Chain A
Amino acid sequence: MGRFRHFINIIILVILSTVALRLLFDVILALPMAASAEARPIDHLFNGHFWMISFLFSLIMVMMIYSIFVFRRADGDETDGPHIHGNSKLEITWTVIPLMVVLGFGVWGAFTLNEITRPKDGEMTVNVTGRQWSWSFKYPEQGDAAAAELVLPVNRTIVLKMNAEDVIHSFWVPEFRVKQDLVPGRETTLRITPTEIGNYRLRCAEICGQNHTTMEADVKVVSAEDFQAWIEQKSAGPSFADMTPEERGAYWASTEGFACVACHTTDGTPSAGPTWQGLYMHNVKLADGSTTEANDEYLHNSIIDPNLQIVDGFLPNVMPGNFGDRFAEREQEVGAAEGIDLDISADLIAYIKSLQ
C-alpha cells in the first residue's frame, strides 16, 4: 500500500513537471521564426524532442528529489536501507522501452530528412561560393548574374550548389533551419524553400580562421516580381566604360567584385590585412625589418604576388595568390561585353590612392 502511494505521487509530479517544463521551453528555449518550407517538418520534430526532453528530465529529477526528501534517514535511525539487489524484469523494461522510443525518433528523423532533401518541382539553382571571409552568389539560370547578397524568390525551392575556395565554411540562416558545409574540392548541395518575405542574415557556421565571425552576407526573400526586377537590374550590370578608375576600383574591392574589403578596411582599422586608408605613398614596415614606400609598383606587386613582401604584424599565406589570373579572366569578359580595355589592378590602385 505504501509503495503504491509513492508511485501515484511520482506519476502526478512527473506529469505536472513535464507540462511545466514544456511550457517553460517556449520562454527560455525558443526557436527563431520559421521562414522556409523545410522549417515546418523540422519544427515538428523539435516539438517532439522538446516533449521528450521535458518528460525524461522530469522523470529522473522527480524520482531523485523524491528519494532525497521522502525516503531520507529519520533522526536517530542508524539502520541500513532495504537489501534490494535489482530486478531483471525492470532492467529489461527500461532497456527495451527507450530502445523503441529512440528507434521511433530515428524513423521520424529519416522521414523528415527525406521530405526536406528530396528534389521538388520548379527548382531553381543558385551557386554559392565561400572563401575567407566572404560569400558570393551566381544565378546560372538567370544568365550567370552575380551578387554579393543572396536574393531569393519566395515559395520556390532553391537548390544551392556550394563550393569553398580555401577552407571549410558552413551555410546557415537560422530562420531556414537547415545547414550545409562548403567543402574545398567537392560540391555540396542544400535545398531551401523560403516562405516568408523579409531580410535575413547568412553567417558562416564552421570556424574558418581569423575573421570567421564576420563572414556574413545579406539574404533577401522577395516576391517573384521583385526577384525578376532585381535580376534584370543585376544582368544589366554596371557599365564600366562610364565609370572613373576610382569608381571601378571601389566596385572591384566590394564583395560584388573581388571582396578585398573582407580583409582590408578603408577606415584605418587593421583586419586580416593592412588597412587601405592613408596607405598610398606612405612608408610601410615589412616583416623582414626593411621599410618600403607604398607606390604603384609596391601596390601592384602586393595584389598580384602577396607573399613577396609581408607587412610587419601580418601573416603570410593568408591572401590568395591567384588574383592575377582572376583579374585577367574578368578583364576579358568585360572587354568582350563592352569593348573596353580594363586594368583592374590599376583601378584598385587608383581607388587606394583616393583613400587618404
Chain B
Amino acid sequence: MRTLKILLTSALVKGLVGQAVGWALGYSFVALLRALRGLPTPWLYEPAVAFGAIISLLGFLVAAGVLADWLRWIVGKKTELKHGAPAGQPGWARYINVDTNHKVIGVQYAITSILLLLVGGYFAIVFRIELAQPGMQWLTNDEFNTLFSAHGIVMIAGILLGVGAMVNYLVPLMIGAPDMAFPRLNAFSYWVTIPSAVIILMGMAVGGWDTGWVGYATLSLKAPLGVVLFLLGFWMNGFSSIASSLNMLVTVTTMRAKGMTLFRMPIVVWGSIAASIIQLTATQTVGVALTLTVAERVLGLNFFDPVGGGDPILYQHLFWFYSHPVVYVFVLPGLGVIAELLPVFARKPLFGYRWVALSSLGIALVGFLVWAHHMFTSGMDDALRVPFMFSTMLVAVPTGVKFFSWVATMWEGKLPKNPPTPLLFVFGAISIFLIGGVTGPILGTIPTDLHLHDSYWIVGHFHATMFGGYIFPFFAALYYWYPKVTGRMYKESLGKLHFWLMLPAFWVMSIGQMSVGLLGMRRRVADYDPALGITTTHILITLAALVIGWSVLIMIYNFIASARTEPAADTNPWGSRSPEWQIPSPIPEFNYVTPIEVVGEPYDYGLAGSVYTRTIAPAPSGD
C-alpha cells in the first residue's frame, strides 16, 4: 500500500499524467481554433495530434518537476539541488523521482536503456519469427513495416540512453569530480527522453509507419499518421543528446582532479569526449531534417516533394550528416570500455595510450566526412561519389589503431585462466566489432556497394558494429561496475551462461544475415522468395535471435537477484588502478570524501611502486 503511494506520487507517474493532460490540451486547442472557423475536427486529425504531442512534452516536464528549479529562479527564488528520496520515503524512491546526483541519473539511464532495448528487441523477435519462413505467417505488411521501423528507432534511443548511463556514471568518478557541471541540466537530459519514448511508441498505436528509422522523403510525406509521432519523438530525444554532451564537455574541461592532465585521464573519458563532440555538433542537422518533414506534412510547407519544387535527396544529406556520425557516438564509449578493462585483466599498461585516445578523436573527425556513402545509389554524380569513397575508407585507419593496440595490450599479458564475465564480454566485443569492422570497407568501395546497398549484408554489418561496439561493451561495463554500483557481486555462473549463449548466437545471426544479403535478400522486406535458397539460413537467424533474447533475460534476472542475495563485494575486486575503485562501494553521495590528486600514469600495471591517484591530505589546521 505504501509502495503504491510512493509510486503514484513519483515524478515518473506525475510526468506521465501531465503528458496525457498536455496532449489533450494541445489537441483541444487545435480543435477549438478549427471550431472558431466553423470546421469540424475528425478523430486523430494530424495537426491536432502533432501539436498535442509537442505540448505533451511540456506537460511531462512541468508535472514531473524537471523545470521546477529554473522556473523558481525566474521569480528570484534560490533552490537547493535535489539529493535523495522525498522526505519519509525509502532510498529506492529517488530513482523514480527527479534527482541531480550523477550516479542516480546514471542508474536511471541504465534501467531505462535496458527497458527500451527489451522493447526494441521484442519487436525484432516478433518480425524475425515472421521471417523464419517464406510467405506471410502471422503479420500483415503494415504490422511488419511498423515493427521494423519501431525496432530501429527504439534500439537507437535505448543505445543513446545506455551511452548516457556509462558517461554519466563513470566520467565524474574517473576524473575525480563530485558531480557533473550542471546537475539540473543533467536531470533534464534524462527526463526528456521518457516523454520522447512515449511519443514514439504512441506512433505505433495510431496507425504505425512504414519508413524505417531513416524516414526518407517522400515516403515520409505519404506514410500513415504514426510517422509524425516518430519524427517528433526522435526530434525531442535530440534535446537530451545536445544538453548531456554539453554538460559532459564542460565537466571534463573544468572539473578534473588536481594533476589529471588530458593524457592522464582514464581512456573511457576520451571516448566520451569524442562522442560528446559529435552529439553537440551533429544532432542539430537531423533536427532540421525532422522539423522540415513535420512542417511539410502538418503545415503544408514544401521542402522535399518535387511536385512543389522540393528535393527528396536534401533530406538524405541532412539526415546522414547526423546519422552517420551518431553510430560513432554509440561505439566510442564502448570501445573506451574495452580499452579500460583489458589492462586491468592483462595486468599490463594500455599499449599506445595516446594513440588510442587520439584515434577516438580521429574517428569522430573522419566520421563527419563520410555521410554520403549512405547515398551511393541515390544518383549522385561520380565526382562526388568517389571522394566520399576515399573518405569512407579512411575510417578503417583509426579503427585499425584501436584493434592493434588492444591486441598489443593482451600480447604477453597475464590474462586470467578463467576469465570473469566482464572480460569474456570484452573478448566477445572485440571479435564481433572485428566482424563489423572488416565487413565495412567492402561497403565503402562503390562498385561492391552497388550490390550490397540495402541488402541484408548491411543489416549484418550494422548489427555486428552495434553489438561489438556497444552492446557487448555495455554488458561488460554492467558486469564490471555492478559491484561498485550495488556493493554486491553478480552471480558469476549466470554471467558466463549469458555470455556463452549470446556470443555464438550472435555470430550465427550476423554471418547468416550477411550470407542471405549476398544472395539477394533485400532489407526491410516482410517476405522473400524461397528460390533464393535462403530459407534455412533465415531459420538459423531467427533461432539465434531467440537465444540472444533469452540470454539477455538471464542477465536481468542475475542483476535483480544478486542485488538482494549476494554477499557484499570487495571495494576493488578487479584490482583496478582507476580512482573509483579506491573508494567504498556503493560510492558516497559526493564521490570523494577527501579530494584526490593524480600523481602517475593511469595504466602503469606491472610497474612496481607506481601510484595513479592518492587522496590529498587535509591541510594542517591552525596556521
Interface residues of A (CB under 8 A from B): 28-32, 41-42, 45-46, 49, 52-53, 56-57, 60-61, 63-64, 67-68, 71-73, 75, 77, 79-88, 90-91, 94-95, 98-99, 102-103, 105-106, 108-110, 112-114, 116-117, 166-168, 170, 172, 174, 177-181, 183-186, 188-189, 201, 203-214, 315, 317-318
Could you give 5 example pairs across A and B, Cβ below 8 Å?
A95-B400, A108-B445, A174-B519, A212-B524, A213-B527
Chain B residues, CB < 8 A from A214: 527
**A62→B351 CA distance, assembly (Å):** 18
Task: Please state if A68 and B445 are interface contacts (CB–CB under 8 Å).
Answer: no
Partner of B413, one of A53, A67, A116: A67
A188-B379, A213-B526 known, 9 other contacts, Cβ within 8 Å:
A30-B518, A32-B520, A61-B434, A68-B419, A81-B347, A90-B352, A116-B447, A206-B216, A212-B210
Q: Give the contact stretch, choosing among B53-61, B384-392, B470-478.
A: B384-392
What's the dominant secondary structure at chain A's contact region? mixed
- Which 4 A-B residue pairs are closest in the complex by CB-CB distance? A185-B306, A109-B445, A174-B520, A81-B348
Task: Please state if B439 and A53 are interface contacts (CB–CB under 8 Å).
Answer: yes
Chain B: minimal CB distance from A311 (Å): 15
Chain B residues, CB < 8 A from A75: 417
Interface string of B508-520 (1 = CB under 8 A from A): 0001001100111
Task: Please state if B400 and A98 are interface contacts (CB–CB under 8 Å).
Answer: yes
Task: Please state if B222 and A166 are interface contacts (CB–CB under 8 Å).
Answer: yes
Task: Please state if B414 and A81 are interface contacts (CB–CB under 8 Å).
Answer: yes
**A295→B54 CA distance, assembly (Å):** 44
Partner of B349, one of A52, A83, A209: A83
Task: Please state if A30 and B219 are interface contacts (CB–CB under 8 Å).
Answer: no
Q: Is B621 positioned at the interface, with any CB of A under 8 Å from its CB? A: no
Nearest CB in chain A to that of B309: its residue: A185
Chain A: minimal CB distance from B503 (Å): 13
Task: Please state if B417 and A94 are interface contacts (CB–CB under 8 Å).
Answer: no
Chain A residues, CB < 8 A from B616: none
Beyond A31-B518, A84-B412, is A41–B447 a contact (Cβ under 8 Å)? yes
Which of B307, B311, B445 has most chain A Cβ within 10 Å?
B445
**A190→B7 CA distance, assembly (Å):** 60
Chain A: minimal CB distance from B609 (Å): 11
Task: Please state if A85 and B353 are interface contacts (CB–CB under 8 Å).
Answer: yes
Chain B residues, CB < 8 A from A201: 529
Which of B377, B413, B523 has most chain A Cβ within 10 Å?
B377
Chain B: minimal CB distance from A24 (Å): 10
Task: Please state if A106 and B390 are interface contacts (CB–CB under 8 Å).
Answer: yes
Chain A residues, CB < 8 A from B405: 86, 91
Chain B residues, CB < 8 A from A46: 442, 448, 451
Chain A residues, CB < 8 A from B306: 184-186
**A211→B141 CA distance, assembly (Å):** 7
Partner of A106, one of B353, B389, B401: B389
Chain B: minimal CB distance from A13 (Å): 13
Chain B: minimal CB distance from A72 (Å): 5
Q: Is B415 positioned at the interface, with any CB of A under 8 Å from its CB? A: yes
Partner of B397, one of A102, A170, A179: A102
Task: Please state if A177 and B414 are interface contacts (CB–CB under 8 Å).
Answer: no
Chain A: minimal CB distance from B416 (Å): 6
**A52→B400 CA distance, assembly (Å):** 13
Chain B residues, CB < 8 A from A186: 306, 311, 313, 379
Q: Is B142 positioned at the interface, with any CB of A under 8 Å from its CB? A: yes
Nearest CB in chain B to that of A186: its residue: B379
Chain B: minimal CB distance from A94 (Å): 4
Beyond A181-B378, A185-B306, A210-B142, is A80–B445 a contact (Cβ under 8 Å)? no
Chain A residues, CB < 8 A from B403: 60
Q: Is B617 positioned at the interface, with any CB of A under 8 Å from its CB? A: no
Q: Is B567 positioned at the interface, with any CB of A under 8 Å from its CB? A: no
Task: Please state if B415 and A68 are interface contacts (CB–CB under 8 Å).
Answer: yes
Task: Please state if B447 and A98 are interface contacts (CB–CB under 8 Å).
Answer: no
Beyond A167-B218, A207-B212, A213-B525, is A71–B413 a contact (Cβ under 8 Å)? yes
Task: Please state if B445 and A99 are interface contacts (CB–CB under 8 Å).
Answer: no
**A189→B439 CA distance, assembly (Å):** 28
**A167→B518 CA distance, assembly (Å):** 26
Which of A201, A203, A214 has most chain B Cβ within 10 Å?
A203
Chain A: minimal CB distance from B543 (Å): 16
Partner of A166, one of B216, B218, B415: B218
Q: Is B101 positioned at the interface, with any CB of A under 8 Å from its CB? A: no
Beyond A49-B442, A80-B605, is A67–B313 a contact (Cβ under 8 Å)? no
Task: Please state if B222 and A113 are interface contacts (CB–CB under 8 Å).
Answer: no
**A186→B183 CA distance, assembly (Å):** 50
Task: Please state if A167 and B222 are interface contacts (CB–CB under 8 Å).
Answer: yes
Task: Please state if A109 and B351 are interface contacts (CB–CB under 8 Å).
Answer: no
Chain A residues, CB < 8 A from B451: 31, 42, 46, 174, 177-179
Chain B residues, CB < 8 A from A181: 377-379
Chain B residues, CB < 8 A from A189: 379
Chain A residues, CB < 8 A from B444: 102, 105-106, 109
Chain B: minimal CB distance from A181 (Å): 5
Chain B: minimal CB distance from A178 (Å): 5
Task: Please state if A210 and B145 are interface contacts (CB–CB under 8 Å).
Answer: yes
**A180→B376 CA distance, assembly (Å):** 9
Task: Please state if B352 and A212 are interface contacts (CB–CB under 8 Å).
Answer: no
**A181→B404 CA distance, assembly (Å):** 38
Chain A: minimal CB distance from B217 (Å): 8
**CB within 8 Å of A: which of B521-568?**
522-527, 529
**A331→B486 CA distance, assembly (Å):** 77
Task: Please state if A112 and B447 are interface contacts (CB–CB under 8 Å).
Answer: yes
Beyond A49-B442, A64-B410, is A72–B448 a contact (Cβ under 8 Å)? no
**A6→B445 CA distance, assembly (Å):** 35
Partner of A53, one of B349, B355, B438: B438
Chain A residues, CB < 8 A from B455: 172, 205
**A61→B211 CA distance, assembly (Å):** 38
Nearest CB in chain B to that of A270: its residue: B140
Beyond A28-B515, A80-B606, A207-B212, is A91–B412 a contact (Cβ under 8 Å)? no
Chain A: minimal CB distance from B462 (Å): 15
Chain A residues, CB < 8 A from B450: 42, 177-180
Chain B residues, CB < 8 A from A109: 389, 444-448
Task: Please state if B382 and A117 are interface contacts (CB–CB under 8 Å).
Answer: yes
Chain B: minimal CB distance from A242 (Å): 37
Chain B: minimal CB distance from A2 (Å): 10
